[in-house]
Amino acid sequence: MPITDLLERNSKLYGEEIALVEINPEIREEQRVTWKEYELIQPTSTSFYRRSITWSVFDEKANRVANMLIERGIRKGQKCAILLMNCLEWLPIYFGIMKTGAIAVPMNFRFDADEIRYCLDASDSDVLFYGPEFIGRIENIISHIRKNTLLFYVGDQCPSYADDYYRMASNASSTAPRILVEDKDEAAIYFSSGTTGFPKAILHNHTALMQSARMEAIHHETTRKDTFLCIPPLYHTGAKMHWFGSLYTGSRAVLLKGNSPEAIFSAVSNEGCTIVWLLVPWAQDILAALDSGKLKMEDYKLSQWRLMHIGAQPIPPSLIRRWLKYFPHHKYDTNYGLSESTGPGCVHLGMENVHKVGAIGIPGYGWKTKIVDEQDMPVADGEVGELCVKGPGVMLEYYKNPEATAETIIDGWLHTGDMARLDEDGFIFLVDRKKDVIISGGENLYPVQIENFLMRNDKIHDVAVIGYPHERLGEIVAAVIQVKEGMELTEEDVNRFCIDLPRYKRPRKIFFDKVIRNATGKIDKPKIREIYCSERLVERQNMS
């Protein structure tokens, strides 16, 4: 079954029920705009901007997008890019593209103009849907965008060089197009996070998308009674594939634009959210607000919130232990995955395995795993090697990049680039990214292990550990430490705290600063290295 069939099924079975709610705490009621009779807007008891659509309206909007594209000559197999902030239009556009048999190409809203141009070219995109936030970036590259590329502007005051999406969609037929879409058909191109250079284009078919939807519902026991709070950007497989659990079960989801502790708690309370996926920094911010008293649990209705799950990076065990002290009734899950594996879940902890916090878990539904050495041979339990996964969610290829595809997929196994070990109970522990391993005096040091140790310090809000160039040892350990608001921490305090670490693992360089993370919550190690390991800074530090 192609993923588009789930939307059509939900429209038939649950047509008048709410499918999606959009909330933007930064826009107040008096600023609300009705998009040219396109969206259903409902009044709300809060002062936040709020829109919602039913399953039948969702499907109808997707059909209009599909027919609009078909009328403009878009055919099966062509590529249609989406460059939008999270909004109620995002998913109908995504499904409308796929209903034509075309391939949806979600794009990172943090891309600069050159990256947008690169990704449009790398994916051979013939269409770009974009919002008002990106006008400047698009205008910078408009002369370089491939000839005959269709531009659809999703907003007010459409530029002269683009088509008005709302006008054209409203004039298109709301009947489902008669296009045969099959499981094996290519469905979407996602881009890698780009933390190692320009991102790679990752091609998936409908089988992979359906696998992620089914797996999400099974892993988290999602039912039609659940309401999922979606905060991360929809261009990323993490957010999209977690929402697929709602699509699979026909349950409601809330798109929250904003990630402050107050906004998250308000959305959970006002919308009755039962499942929330958080990134590490958001969970840290919530705990800090609770610790300081700025956020009070008694001010919100939270009793229905049954599951908090987290992913996109290694999770400090101390964070989850602190979380469960505040929320002892919560079920918890860690989700591991890559865009190359259709997002999260190829490995997951499992809600019943909270006693194994610190592990990323066991193979997910339909997946197999192995840990191998440099010769691609399995390592013994307890030894560190590269994690490989195999299952129906493995990408078809890096689009137009056979060399990178051959290096990454070997005999059907996806080589993740993550270093891991297996414990005596069969649980996988992530050690670090292969490329982030610090080699100091011939010893392999894994930053995640040092980061987890430092996060035990009650004064540390966030931390990133990197290799710092050293003339004699090659690299030494450097830590960028973000101190909790209102607290003080000195280099001497950190050195004293690290006395229990083996000497060669202790940070030799300490920088107190904000930890840089990308839009998906991952620590941006390349950017941090660029800032703290520049040649001039290293020379000055070594002289001192």
**What local confidence, expressed as pLDDT, does residue 343 receive?**
86
The verdict on residue 55 lying in a domain is yes
The verdict on residue 264 lying in a domain is no
**What local confidence, expressed as pLDDT, does residue 172 receive?**
96
Query: Residue 69's domain spans which residues?
Result: 3-12+51-209
**Domain termination site, one of 162, 189, 209:** 209
Q: Are strands 275-278 and 48-54 parallel, antiparallel or unpaired?
A: unpaired
* Residue closest to 179 by CA, chosen among 77, 104, 264, 84: 77
Q: Which residues pair with 106 in a beta bridge?
A: 82
pLDDT at 536 over 80: no
Q: Are strands 343-348 and 362-363 parallel, antiparallel or unpaired?
A: antiparallel
**What local confidence, expressed as pLDDT, does residue 149 receive?**
93
The set of residues, in sequence order, having a beta carbon less than 8 Å from that of 485 and lying 6+ positions away, is 288, 292, 461
Euclidean distance between CA atoms 472 and 494, whole angstroms = 24
Tell me the pLDDT tens digit for each residue of 150-195. 999 999 899 999 999 999 999 999 999 999 999 999 999 999 865 4
Q: Which one-letter DSSP state was computed for residue 241?
A: H
Query: Higher model confidence: residue 279 or residue 378?
Result: 378
358 confidence band (pLDDT: 50, 70, 90): confident
**Domain termination site, one of 150, 174, 209:** 209
- Compute the average pLDDT of residues 32-43: 40
* Residue closest to 123 by CA, chosen among 233, 198, 211: 198
Is the pTM value of this prediction over 0.95? no
The verdict on residue 529 lying in a domain is yes
Tell me the pLDDT tens digit for each residue of 274-288. 999 988 778 888 999
Euclidean distance between CA atoms 398 and 463, whole angstroms = 32
310 confidence band (pLDDT: 50, 70, 90): confident
Backbone φ/ψ region at 40: left (φ over 0), alpha (ψ -120 to 50), beta: beta
SS3 state of residue 520: coil
Q: Are strands 331-338 and 307-311 parallel, antiparallel or unpaired?
A: parallel
The set of residues, in sequence order, having a beta carbon less than 8 Å from that of 192 and lying 6+ positions away, is 199, 200, 202, 339, 340
Backbone angles phi, psi at 105, to 5 degrees: -130, 85
**What local confidence, expressed as pLDDT, does residue 520 receive?**
61
The verdict on residue 493 lying in a domain is yes
Euclidean distance between CA atoms 35 and 302, whole angstroms = 33
Residue 465 belongs to a domain with what CATH number?
Answer: 3.30.300.30
146 confidence band (pLDDT: 50, 70, 90): confident
The verdict on residue 446 lying in a domain is yes
The set of residues, in sequence order, having a beta carbon less than 8 Å from that of 76 and lying 6+ positions away, is 100, 101, 102, 179, 185
Residue 106 belongs to a domain with what CATH number?
Answer: 3.40.50.12780
**Domain termination site, one of 209, 228, 246:** 209
The verdict on residue 85 lying in a domain is yes
Euclidean distance between CA atoms 49 and 30, whole angstroms = 9
**What local confidence, expressed as pLDDT, does residue 41 receive?**
41
pLDDT at 196 over 50: no
432 confidence band (pLDDT: 50, 70, 90): low
**What local confidence, expressed as pLDDT, does residue 40 receive?**
40
**What local confidence, expressed as pLDDT, does residue 284 receive?**
85
**Number of structural domains the chain divides into:** 2
Euclidean distance between CA atoms 446 and 421, whole angstroms = 12
The verdict on residue 509 lying in a domain is yes
The verdict on residue 89 lying in a domain is yes
